[in-house]
Structure 1
Amino acid sequence: MNTRRRGTELEDAILQAAWNELMNVGYQNLTMEEVAIKAKTSKPVIYRRWDSREELVLAAIGKNIPKPADDIPNTGNIRNDVIIVLERLNDLISTIGPETIHGLMSVLAGIPFSELLHLRRTNTMQTILKRAAERGEIKVEKVTDRITKLPVDLIRHELLTTYEPVTEKTIVEIVDDIFLPLIQ
C-alpha cells in the first residue's frame, strides 16, 4: 500500500511545516531544507510548487493567518472606522511578525504591502471614505488616491522603521493628526 502524500494533503503538510518554522525560528532562519524535513518530503518536491523561500512563506502566511474580516467597519464615524481598520492591520502584523514582513518586503519590493499581507480587499478605505462623504464628514474634493492609501502607508513605515507592531497611540495619531486633517 502506497502511503505517499500527494496534492492538497502534501501541500497542506508543507505549508504547515513552513508556518511552524516561521513561527519558531523566524523568517531569517527559515530554510527550505528544514521545512522539507518537518513536512517529511524533499526540497525538490517543495521547489516544484514554490520557486523560492519567499513564495513558500507567502503561501504559508496566506494559509495560516486569520482571513481579513468580511465586514467593513461602519460605526457612523470615519475616525472610528479607520481606527478599526488600522487595528486589524496591526493585529495581522503582530501575528505574522514584523521581522517576517520586513524580510519579505526587502526581497519582494515589487509586491504591494496589501498583497504581501493577503489583504485582498482593496476597496475598504474607498468604502469608508464614500460613507463618510455621504454623511458629510469629509470634503470629497480633498480625497486623492495617495491620501486614501496614507493610513496604511504610515503603518507600513512605522513597521519598517521600528520592527515592532504599531502602538494604539500611534494609530490614533495617524488618524487624528495626519489623516483626518487632510480630508476634513
Structure 2
Amino acid sequence: MPERRRGAALEKALLDAAWEELADNGYAGFTMDAVVKRAGTSPPVLYRRWSDRDELVRAAITQALREHRLDIPDTGSLREDVLTLMREINATRVQLIIVMSVHLAACHKATGTSTGDLRDPLVTGRKEALDVLFDRAVERGEIKREHLPERVKSLPFDLLRHEILTTFAPVPDDVLEDIVDTVFLPLVR
C-alpha cells in the first residue's frame, strides 16, 4: 500500500499532476477529473484546495514558476552574463515557455487573462533580477544606464522566447550568440 501523502507533499503532488496535465493536454483538455486520476487521489481531496480548474491552473503555474527560478550569473562580463542566462533558460525552460504561451491560449481566451496575469509577482521577480545583471555591467563601465530602456533589457530574452515558440525546441548556441552579438550588444554600447 502506498504511503499516504499529507500537507505540503500532497499539495505538491496535486500541483505536479496539474502541471503535467497542462503540459500534455493544454488548457482545453485540462479537467479536474484528469488531475485526480493522474495524482492518484479523490475529487474531494482536490476540491478542498481548489474550487475550479482556473484556480488550480493558476496554482500549478505559480508552482512551476517557483520551481524554475534561475540564478542570475555574475561572470564579470555583460555578454557572458546574458549568454549564460539565455543558455540556462534554453536548457531548462523550453517546456515551461511552450506551456505558458501555447497551451494556455485557450485559458487566456476563456478567462480574459494573459500569461502575465497568471504569474505570481513574488515568484517571478524577472525585472528585478535583470536589473541586478545590468547594474553590474554599468558599475563595470561596460554600458551606460541611458542605453538601457526596459524594452532593450528584455530584448535578448524576448528573442529567445520567440525562437523557442517558432521551433518548439531549444535554440542552437550559435543563434543565442547571434542574438547577443549582432542585435543586443550594439544597442547597449
| Same fold, TM-score > 0.5, yes or no | yes
Q: Give the secondary structure class of the aligned counterpart of 1:49.
A: coil
Does 2:131 align with 1:126? yes
Aligned-pair CA distance for 1:110: 2.2
**Structure 1 segments of 4+ aligned residues over 6 angstroms from their partners:** none
Check the 8 A contact 1:17/1:35 in 2, yes or no: yes
User: Which residue does the alignment assign to 1:35?
Assistant: 35
Take 2:117 and 2:159, find their aligned partners in 1: how far apart are those partners?
Answer: 11
Take 1:58 and 1:166, find their aligned partners in 2: how far apart are those partners?
Answer: 23
TM-score under structure 2 length normalisation = 0.73
- Trace 1:2-151 onto structure 2 (pairs within 5 A): 7-21=7-21, 25-27=24-26, 30-43=30-43, 45-50=45-50, 51=52, 52=54, 54-59=57-62, 61-62=64-65, 65-69=67-71, 72-94=72-94, 96=96, 98-99=98-99, 101-104=101-104, 107-108=107-108, 110-112=114-116, 115=119, 119-151=124-156
Give a deviation string over 1:115-156, Cα, whole Å, max 9, x none: 48x543432221222111122211322111111111221122
Does 2:161 align with 1:156? yes
Take 2:134 and 2:105, find their aligned partners in 1: how far apart are those partners?
Answer: 28
Letter in 2 for 1:74: D
Q: Give the secondary structure class of the aligned counterpart of 2:176.
A: helix
User: Which residue does the alignment assign to 1:172?
Assistant: 177
Count of residue pairs the alignment pairs up: 177
RMSD over equivalenced CA pairs, Å: 3.2
Letter in 2 for 1:93: R
TM-score under structure 1 length normalisation = 0.75
Take 2:4 and 2:84, find their aligned partners in 1: how far apart are those partners?
Answer: 45
Q: Which runs of 5+ in 1 are unaligned?
A: none
Letter in 2 for 1:61: A
Q: 1:105 to 1:122 in 2, by over 3 A?
A: farther
Q: 1:13 to 1:75 in 2, by over 3 A?
A: closer
Letter in 2 for 1:55: R
Check the 8 A contact 2:138/2:145 in 1, yes or no: yes
Q: 1:152 to 1:112 in 2, by over 3 A?
A: farther
Take 1:145 and 1:66, find their aligned partners in 2: how far apart are those partners?
Answer: 23
Q: Which runs of 5+ in 2 are unaligned?
A: none
Take 1:114 and 1:54, find their aligned partners in 2: how far apart are those partners?
Answer: 9
